[in-house]
Amino acid sequence: MNRVVNWSDALAVVLADFGPKPFAYGESDCVIFARATIEALTGRDIFDGEELTYNDKAGALTALKDLARVSGVEKLMDKFLGKRQDFAYCQRGDIVSATFDFGVALGVCVGNSAPFIKGDGMFERVFLKDCRSRWEV
């Protein structure tokens, strides 16, 4: 996937936009965050304009099944971004996943760590060495 010329500035805008937002299914969650990041960096909506409408975890899982016939956020990224990549080549803006007490979530590489959306409106940073998977953007 090719990135836009000013992708670094675009990434900063996405991070600034999502950083202060509290977690909300369908508005400010890991799928919406990953989608916004990918679109900002590539100019392409990986879901081809398909609207995702849900407001709870059950609705999110149903939306993923309806959109891509997959269960879980990692399988969603597999479908739209392809094969998982080695962390040795991870760069800013790549999508990563990590495990939390509530399950697996998506974040965005910003160097040696990745921010993930938390419930209180602050990012939780996870070191890449503690992440599960990575997809190149």
- Give pLDDT, residue 113: 97
| Structural domain of 101 | 7-135
| SS3 assignment for the chain | CCCCCCHHHHHHHHHHHHCCCCCECCCECHHHHHHHHHHHHHCCCCCCCCCCCCCCHHHHHHHHHHHHCCCCHHHHHHHHHCCCCCHHHCCCCCEEEEEECCEEEEEECCCCEEEEECCCCCEEEEEHHHCCEEECC
- Give pLDDT, residue 20: 86
- Asked if residue 65 is part of any domain, the answer here is yes
- Give pLDDT, residue 82: 95
- Asked if residue 1 is part of any domain, the answer here is no
- Asked if residue 13 is part of any domain, the answer here is yes
Cβ neighbours of residue 102 closer than 8 Å, sequence gap 6 or more:
none
* Burial state string for 65-75 with b = 16 or more CB within 10 A and e = fewer than 16: eebbebeebbe
- Asked if residue 103 is part of any domain, the answer here is yes
- Asked if residue 115 is part of any domain, the answer here is yes
- Asked if residue 113 is part of any domain, the answer here is yes
Q: Number of folded domains in the chain?
A: 1
- Asked if residue 74 is part of any domain, the answer here is yes
**For the whole model, what pTM was predicted?**
0.94
Position 71 confidence tier, pLDDT thresholds 50, 70, 90: confident
- Asked if residue 2 is part of any domain, the answer here is no
Q: What's the CATH number where 115 sits?
A: 3.90.1720.10
What average pLDDT is seen over the chain? Answer: 93
Q: Each residue of 19-62: pLDDT tens digit?
A: 888 899 999 999 999 999 999 999 999 999 888 899 999 999 99
